[in-house]
Each structure stands twice: as C-alpha cells, then as structure tokens.
Structure 1
Amino acid sequence: MIPLQTIKDANSTLSTRLPSPVCVFVGGTTGIGSYTLKRLAASTVSPKVYYIGRTPGNAAALQKELEEINPKGTYVFLLCDVLSIKGVDECCRKINEREAEINILWLSAGALRSGMPDTKEGLNWMAAISYYGQVKFITNLLPLLKRAAANGHFTRVIRILAGGLEKPLDPHDLDMRKGSLIRGRQMHTTITTVAFDHLAHENPEISFVHAFAGFVKTEGQKFPGLMSLAIRSVMWIAGSWLLIPEEESGERNLFYATSEIYPPATVGAEMAKADKGSEEAKGEGEEVAVGLDGVKGSGCYTLHWDGTAKSGNKVLLEYRESGFREKVWEHTLAVYKNIEKQYEKENTA
C-alpha cells in the first residue's frame, strides 16, 4: 500500500512538475472524477480542463467550486452522452479544434444498470458506457496525446474501473451481451485492460493506467433495483472502515493520473535502471511501478485502490502470446466502423 502521506507529498510537487496541464476528464462532473478534478485544481497553477458529462446542473455546481479552488485555471464543460459513439465523436471534434496537445485523458464515466435496452447504435447499454464510449475518446484524442509526447511533455491515459481484477473473456461474446451484471462488469474490466495493453504496445510514448478506485460513495450508485439497494446497504453498514473518504480518493487518483512512477515504455526502462542503481533507499510509491507484464516501467499498469501494481495475470499474458489481444482491438475498431456505416447510410437515404 502506498502511504497517503507519500501520495500527498508527490501531489504537492505538481505546481512545479506539471503546473499547467491540459486535461480531458470524461465523467468529471460527479463522483470520483469530480473529487480528483478538485484536487488537480488545488495542486496545479493554471490547469486547463475539459470536463465532460450529461448533466449541466452538476457541471454548474462543480464549475463554481473549481473557480473558487483555483481561479487561475480554465474549466470548460462539454455536454456529451458517453453512450453515443456519435456524441463522443462530436465532443472530441470540439477538443481537437481547440487544442494542439493534451497531457491527461481521464476516463471514469460509468453506471451499473441491468435490463437496459440496447443503445440507438445497437450496442449493449452497459458495454457502451463502460467500454466502447470510453475507448472512442482515446482513439479520437490519440493525436493530441502523441503530439504532447513528441514535444517531451507528460502524457497519460487513465481509466477508473477495476484494474487488477481481470477474468477470462468469452471469445464468442466480445459484444458483451451475455451473463449477469457482475459477469458483464468483469468483461468490461478485462477488455479494457486488453485494449490498454494493445494501445501501450502501439504507442510506447504514452503511459496507460487502469485503476480500481475501491469503495467510494458516488452518485452512480443511486439507481432503481435490488443491486443499487444492495450496494447502498453495504456502504451504509460498512461505514467508515470500508469507504474511502472523498478527499483521500481524490488524492490517490490524482497520484495515479500524474505520478512519474507509472512511466511510458519509452522512458520506463531507463527509469527502472536508475532506480536499481540508486543507493538511496526508497519506499513504496517512490520506485518505478511494475507493468502488467511484470516488467518495471513497461508502460501499461493495473492498480489496486491502494496503488499496488498488479502483474503476472496469466490470462492477460496468454492473450499477448496468442495474438488474442490484437483480435480484441480489431473487434473494437470493427464496432466503430459499423456504427460509422450506419450513419453514412442514414445521411444518404
């Protein structure tokens, strides 16, 4: 476990290490995203943040808080429903028109629902919001991330879901339509890490982090049905000994989004060598983290809520060796292509 004080100390250096980052926060208006965004505003000098959500009322309240925390920052709300690939494309078009590069792409939008109808674009509802919509932001904004890296600037993609808890995928159900709500969540987790592993391999100048935030009280836990009732009951019963406080969640997740111990592969190997050759004793949270392949600084990281990097998952390593990782990515791109064709048909009809 990385001590909270170590994390706070690292975050306190952002005013000099990353004073004016350009960030995109998908799912930043409430919950873990908003907790982290507020800590980012407090820890940097003049951040520029595009924060994306579906509820203008939540955004207005957050905007006021951010401006009070750090009036030197620029905070731009973009209305977007992550369930819609077309909506994601339009949102990203606006960002691409306004920015030359971005440093941090934060992805935490999500919800737990069962029995929802497919989206208008034909996607499973939960898969759309947990995976396809999130990854579309990456593919659309990748040029801005790569440009930042080419200019020698910090770059990271971070997804908050359940990194480190991956289970085998069903190769005959990559659309993620079968199984229970919990099984679906496991599939969303695994396919995200597999996609991140592919992206880190193809873009070694960018680091990719898939983190589990632990148990944090959020608005997303309020929805109809027994599952919501069960989650809220556990939260209420467990109370202080299970729940991670909002401020701690914000500090920890800001660290995962900005810490240099999760470097891209292009610099990770050299950083790991420097760590090994250093005579200075270092504690947890100060050494270069181990990637999901068990190699320090390899560019793709799965993190437990306490910052512990998970590695050596046999399923993920097998997907690498067998080429299934690339098949998953081909499937993802094919889904986007099919949706694009749908809209082309509608426009020519």
Structure 2
Amino acid sequence: MIPLTTIKAANATLSTRLPSPVCVFLGGTTGIGFYTLKQLVASTVSPKVYYIGRTPSNAEIVQKTLEEINPKGTYIFVQCDILLIKNVDKACEEILKKEKEINLLWLSAGLLRSGFPDTAEGLNFMAAISYFSHIKFIINLLPLLKTSTTNNHFTRVIRVLGGGLEKELDPNDLDMRKATFIKSRQHHVTSTTVTFDYLAKGNPEISFVHAFPGFVKTEGQTFPGMISLAVRALMWVGGSWLCVSDEESGERNLFYATSEIYPASKRAEEVMGLIGGEGKGEGEDVAVGLDGVKGSGCYTVHWDGTAKSGNKVLLEYRETGFRERVWEHTVAVYKGIEERYQKDAGAA
C-alpha cells in the first residue's frame, strides 16, 4: 500500500512539475472524478480543464467550486450525454477545434444500474456507458495526446473502473448483451484493460492506467434487486471503515493520474534513471506493468496504489491474439454506427 503521506507529498510537487496541464475530465461533475478534479486544481498553478457532463445545473456548481479553489485556472463545461457515440464525437470535435494538445485524459463517468433498454444506436445500455463511450473519447482525442508527447510533455490516459479485477471474457458476447449484472461489470473491466494494453503497444509514448478506486460513496450507485439490499446493508454496517473518504479518494486518484511511477514504456528507462534505484519506498519506484515488467506502459492499479500484474487471462489474450480481436470488434462497432447514420442521412 502506498502511504497517503507519500501520495500527498508527490501531489504537492505538481505546482512545479505540471503547473499548467491541459486536461479533459469525463466524469468530473460528480463523485470520484469531481473529488480528483478539485485536488488537481488545488495542486496546480493554472490548469485548463474541459469537464464533460450531462447536466448543466451540476456544471454550475462545479464551475463555482473550481473557481473558488483556483481562480487562475480555466474551466470549460462540455455538455454531453455519453449514451450515444454521436454525442461523444460532437464533444470531442469541440475540444479538437480549441486545443493543440492534451496532457491528461481522465475517464470515470458511469452508472451502476441495470434493466435499461438498448441505446438508440443499438448498443447495450451499460456497455455504451461503461466501455464504448470511453474508448471512443480516447480514439477521437488521440491526436492531441500524441502532440503532447511530441512536445515531450506529460501525457496519460486513466480510466477509473476496476483495474486488477479482470476475468475471462465471453468470446461470443463481446457486445455484452447476454451477461448478468455482475458478469457485465466484469466484462467492461476486462475489455477496458485489454484495449488499454492494445493501445499502449501502439502508442508507447503514452501512459495508460486502469485504476480501481475502492469503495467510495458516490451518486449513481443504484443496484438491481437483492444486490441493492446487500450493498445498502453493507454500507450501513461498515461504511465508515469500508469506504475511502472523498478527500483520500481525490488525493489517491490524482496521484495515479499524474505520478511519474506509471510512465509510458518509451519513457520508462529515463524515468527509472531519475527515480529508480534500491531502497525506494512504496510509491517512490517505477511501477510494474500488467505484464510484470517495470514501466511497460499499461498499468492496473488497486485502490491502495498497488500495481497488479501476472493476470493469466490478460497474458493469454496477448499470446493468442485475442487482444487484437477485442480491439477489432470495438472499432467495428463504431464503424457500424457511423454507417447507419450515413445510410439514414442518405435516405432523408
């Protein structure tokens, strides 16, 4: 476990190490994303943040809060219902027109709900919210991330969901339609890590982190049936010691989003030369990637900062080419949606 004191000390260096980052926060208006965003603007000098959300009324609260914390920052609300891929494309177009580079792409938006019908684009509701929309943000904004690396600036993509909790995927259900609520959640987690692993291979200059935030009480946690009763009972009995506090969650996740111990593979040797070495404490040495190699560019991080590696399923997916199959299926889903829109436009 990385001590909170170590994490706070590292975050305190952001004012000199990353004083004016350009960030995109998907999921920054509530919950874990908001807690982390507040810590980010408090720790940097003049950040520029695009925070993406569905509800303007929430954005007003966020805007006021961020301006009070750090009036030197620039905060831009981008309204977007990520349920539809066309909305994601529109939001990204707005950012692409205004920016030349992005240092940090934060992805934490989502819901813990079930029983909803498919989206208007034909996607499973939870798959659209938890997986397809997030990966589309990465694909769309990849040019700005790559420009950041070209300028030798800090660059990271972080998804906060369930890093380290990956299980075997159903190869016959990559659309995530048949799974139960819990299986579906596991599918989103594993698909995210597998896709991050693929992207890290093709973009060795960018660091990819998939983090598990632990138990943090946030909005949007509506579970189905008996699961809801069990979760509420658990929170009532042990919430005070089971849950990570808002402040600690913000500090820890800011660390995972900005710490040099999770470098892009292309920078691993350089970073190890700067901060590596014997006798380093937890959180002060370069982390091990999911393949078991230090600084390999793709990391699954537990809530306490421990980087997980050696997952047999993930390593098997690398060896058998299933990693590439997941990516190809994901891209095919986006292509199918785009083609349907083009067909509808042509028929109009």
1:318 paired residue among 316, 319, 322 = 316
Equivalent residue letter for 2:152: G
Contact 2:84 2:121 in 1 (8 A): yes
Distance in structure 1 (CA, Å) of the matches to 2:165 and 2:99: 35
Distance in structure 1 (CA, Å) of the matches to 2:188 and 2:256: 20
Q: Give the C-alpha shift of residue 236 in structure 1.
A: 2.2
TM-score of the superposed pair, with normalisation by structure 2 = 0.97
**Alignment correspondent of 1:60:** 60
Q: Does 1:182 align with 2:186?
A: no
Distance in structure 2 (CA, Å) of the matches to 1:244 and 1:170: 32
Distance in structure 1 (CA, Å) of the matches to 2:49 and 2:226: 36
Q: Does 1:302 align with 2:296?
A: no
Partner secondary structure for residue 198 of structure 1: helix
Q: Give the C-alpha shift of residue 226 in structure 1.
A: 4.5
Distance in structure 1 (CA, Å) of the matches to 2:112 and 2:3: 30
Alignment of 1:1-349 (within 5 A): 1-222=1-222, 226-272=226-272, 278=277, 281-349=279-347
Distance in structure 2 (CA, Å) of the matches to 1:50 and 1:71: 15
Partner secondary structure for residue 219 of structure 1: coil
Q: Give the C-alpha shift of residue 222 in structure 1.
A: 4.3
Q: Give the C-alpha shift of residue 227 in structure 1.
A: 3.6
Contact 1:204 1:299 in 2 (8 A): yes
Are the structure 2 counterparts of residues 224 and 296 from structure 1 closer, same or farther at C-alpha, using a change threshold of 3 Å?
closer
Distance in structure 2 (CA, Å) of the matches to 1:224 and 1:200: 35
Distance in structure 1 (CA, Å) of the matches to 2:316 and 2:147: 32
Distance in structure 2 (CA, Å) of the matches to 1:55 and 1:105: 20
5+ long unaligned stretches in structure 2: none
Equivalent residue letter for 1:291: G
Contact 2:113 2:222 in 1 (8 A): no
Partner secondary structure for residue 220 of structure 2: helix
Partner secondary structure for residue 158 of structure 1: strand
Are the structure 2 counterparts of residues 328 and 47 from structure 1 closer, same or farther at C-alpha, using a change threshold of 3 Å?
same
Distance in structure 2 (CA, Å) of the matches to 1:335 and 1:222: 27
Distance in structure 1 (CA, Å) of the matches to 2:93 and 2:231: 37
Equivalent residue letter for 1:335: V
Distance in structure 2 (CA, Å) of the matches to 1:62 and 1:232: 28
Are the structure 2 counterparts of residues 221 and 311 from structure 1 closer, same or farther at C-alpha, using a change threshold of 3 Å?
same
Deviations 1:21-58 (A, max 9, x none): 00000011000000000000100000000001111111
Distance in structure 2 (CA, Å) of the matches to 1:237 and 1:101: 46
Partner secondary structure for residue 282 of structure 2: coil
Distance in structure 2 (CA, Å) of the matches to 1:224 and 1:57: 27
More displaced stretch, 94-103 vs 266-275: 266-275
TM-score of the superposed pair, with normalisation by structure 1 = 0.97
**Matched length:** 347
Equivalent residue letter for 2:18: L
More displaced stretch, 162-171 vs 224-233: 224-233
Equivalent residue letter for 2:60: A
Equivalent residue letter for 1:310: K
Distance in structure 2 (CA, Å) of the matches to 1:331 and 1:123: 13
Equivalent residue letter for 1:324: F
Are the structure 2 counterparts of residues 235 and 11 from structure 1 closer, same or farther at C-alpha, using a change threshold of 3 Å?
same
Q: Give the C-alpha shift of residue 271 in structure 1.
A: 3.0
Once the two structures are aligned, what percentage of the paired residues are identical? 72
5+ long unaligned stretches in structure 1: none
Equivalent residue letter for 1:245: S
Name the Cα RMSD after superposition.
Answer: 1.2
